[in-house]
Structure 1
């Protein structure tokens, strides 16, 4: 008897000194697919599976502090508001369809302690996609306006289609986006909305592109880390020249290098800006007063530029040495020089482009609207060769005209204007040698006749023969 009482006493002491967090009682409710975990301080964690109505949770204890909902399916109707649990601090949704996030507010006003909400692998809409279905999650500040204690939003392995009305979200202390994907595009609004929210993106969070955007240039954001895109956009904006517009329009699919465009058109520029983002790949300096474009060739900030749109300026000439070095360093060049004051382009550059043009090398030149010099036959020949390379140059042939005659350069009859001399062959050289010998013989004969008539001297060969006969 004494032994039994001693055992009960030891068990009671053990229960009193055991850590609180290790003592939980799991209660399986009969009416709900939920498990309730209670500990000795009355802290309650509830885990529910396969719910379709939030108001069904009213029968649970009011002391719940953490609510986890797994595989829930909540469509928009009048039963999508959580019960007013006064002690609730954390809500976690896992693998759940949350259609109510688009238009309704599931949080009652008296959830005064709710400080953290987590969405893991959830979605609020389903869209058709070329590879199947795209399960997207979108939300707005209005979804959280009635939560005064909210400090943290966590998004784990979701496909976030966007953020709307960011005024409340930017006030939160912690906004974590880990794994999953985020819809990305090249608009300034997209970038600035995320800058305002200022979330923490993990390195594993990638961009995705909606199938409806496949027709525009932004599709190359696919599978680019969002963190990388945000950093690239930040550098681009910080180094953008005054009054210009700079944007990141995508990334190369293979090399993962950004496409960065700098647009300084219609600004009356007389010189190209010294400072542009060094990752710039495309410049648009259209309708300015540029006369010199050497910065494109020698300024290190322009070293990655492949597309240069310089139409409607006052460019008169291009330095041959710098231009040739530029094309040597590039496998792809798009150069728009329309409506300038160019009369010639360096022949060595054009010959190099003609020679290297292939599937690996891509050069697109727009040359229309310049007063081209059609007197220089060497220049016209190489320009025509350049224009005649089928499938390589998309130029308006009829608008590339000669200065004086206004004739399209492609139609100039160079063979008639500047006939090509046939190269000499072996017979020609033999004929020239015979002609030379004949001329020498004739000159010698005339010289001998002159000496005979003037000095009565016979040619030395006759003198030798006469002496031989005398002997």
Structure 2
């Protein structure tokens, strides 16, 4: 009796505190295979496998709240058209082929409660590139703009090529990308839109790109965290000088340091901008009214600049010491300084000679053509010509077009030895020869003087007179 009561008590407690198991029904209608789950609030969740059309779901219950499609294959927009489920809130696609290809809008506005879309391991096209085969997911039309309640878009482990709908991106409250890869092409409109709407990227979401849009082998965005790429783009844009255009062009493959270009051409600059993105590696200030480039060597915001384009300005001189100039040339193995078409008459040649002498393996490039170089100053033109002849092909790529101010003659062809004869410094032999010559001249002058006195006054030189007088005494 006691045992029976205790068994009844345990059974009652178990029933009271055990969770309610939702009813699960497996349906098979032709090729339709779906699991239907109803919870305690009468909300229905449906999980369907291997579908090729969504409109076949219209035979299911109308109060479905969440729909999950696994291993679906949808070859066109028609096959992706959903029935009008008025209670549908969440749609999830997993490992499915989704071909959103036309300009139609297959997601009708009568899905009035659909607030969340999730895509996991999905693709819309297969592309073979030099890096391998990509199963890329892309939405090329305004596929979801008519959904009035849509607030969340989730991407899990996809190779996301793009969402070409700025209106959709701006209306969403949550844009999540977890894992997978993202096509990080800064020049692509959809990616620039992502930077404006501020999506969430997980640390595992990495960038990928095709090498065709990269400007050089030393720059890449492959395997860069997408969030890092996006944040760098935003900082670059925020710190860009007024009227200028700043762009992220890639990263160093190993160090992951960004390459940022600052473009301020043709805007009437009289001074180099004080504030630029501190990660900037190159700038283009051509066709302005700059008279000085001191900021390139002294301003800490320019400390990562290795490509400087300041051609077609009004720069007349570069007054910089060896230390600062050397620091600039040692920022990278191939520093480039474009100074063509300015008003330069002279350069600190001794600084360049010192740097070349101290570090012969250092590669830097300077462009100097189109300036009125001073070919009158013998010391300068001789040193400039020597540097161009010896190192022109290595450091000065336009050395054969550098010309004098007045004669327009190419500097490397100026006959400096004729124009400016060399004055060899005197050595010991020269001083000895001068001394012998002075003694000879002095002796000759003394002889002529004594001869003149003898003929005029019949006087002998005093030393001969003494010698004769001494002889008489003897």
Structure 1 length as normaliser, TM-score? 0.82
Q: For residue 391 of structure 1, report the CA deviation from its aligned partner.
A: 5.5
**Residue 342 of structure 1: which of 335, 341, 344 is its match?**
344
Question: Is the 1:381–1:414 contact (alpha carbons within 8 Å) kept by the matching residues of 2?
Answer: yes
Q: For residue 93 of structure 1, report the CA deviation from its aligned partner.
A: 0.9
Residue 260 of structure 1 corresponds to which residue in structure 2?
A: 260
Number of equivalences = 455
CA displacement 1:259-294 (0-9 Å, x = unmatched): 222222222222222222222221222122222221
Structure 2 length as normaliser, TM-score? 0.81
Residue 123 of structure 2 corresponds to which residue in structure 1?
A: 123
Q: Is there any run of 5+ residues in structure 1 with no aligned partner, and where? A: none
CA displacement 1:300-348 (0-9 Å, x = unmatched): 2222221111111111111031753443543332111111111111012
1:73 aligns with 2:81: no
Residue 235 of structure 2 corresponds to which residue in structure 1?
A: 235
- Structure 1 window deviating more from structure 2 (7-16 vs 295-304): it is 7-16
Counterparts in 2 of 1:71 and 1:191: CA distance versus 1, 3 Å: closer
CA displacement 1:40-87 (0-9 Å, x = unmatched): 544433322322222233343444322222222110153322233333
CA displacement 1:412-454 (0-9 Å, x = unmatched): 3445555667899xxx86x669868967997999999999942
Question: Is the 1:166–1:196 contact (alpha carbons within 8 Å) kept by the matching residues of 2?
Answer: no
**Residue 27 of structure 1: which of 9, 25, 29 is its match?**
25
CA displacement 1:386-423 (0-9 Å, x = unmatched): 44547634633443111232211122344555566789
Residue 364 of structure 1 corresponds to which residue in structure 2?
A: 365
Residue 374 of structure 1 corresponds to which residue in structure 2?
A: 375
Cα distance in 2 between the residues matched to 1:26 and 1:254: 52
Q: For residue 238 of structure 1, report the CA deviation from its aligned partner.
A: 2.1
The within-5 A match list for 1:65-464 is 65-76=65-76, 78-100=78-100, 103-139=103-139, 142-187=142-187, 189-190=189-190, 192-210=192-210, 212-214=212-214, 220-321=220-321, 324-327=325-328, 329-331=330-332, 332-355=334-357, 361-388=362-389, 389=391, 392-393=394-395, 395-415=397-417, 417-418=419-420, 453-455=461-463
Cα distance in 1 between the residues matched to 2:464 and 2:403: 71
Q: Is there any run of 5+ residues in structure 2 with no aligned partner, and where? A: 451-459
- Over the residues paired in the alignment, what is the CA RMSD in angstroms? 3.8
Question: Is the 1:218–1:249 contact (alpha carbons within 8 Å) kept by the matching residues of 2?
Answer: no
Question: Is the 2:179–2:205 contact (alpha carbons within 8 Å) kept by the matching residues of 1?
Answer: yes
Cα distance in 2 between the residues matched to 1:5 and 1:112: 54
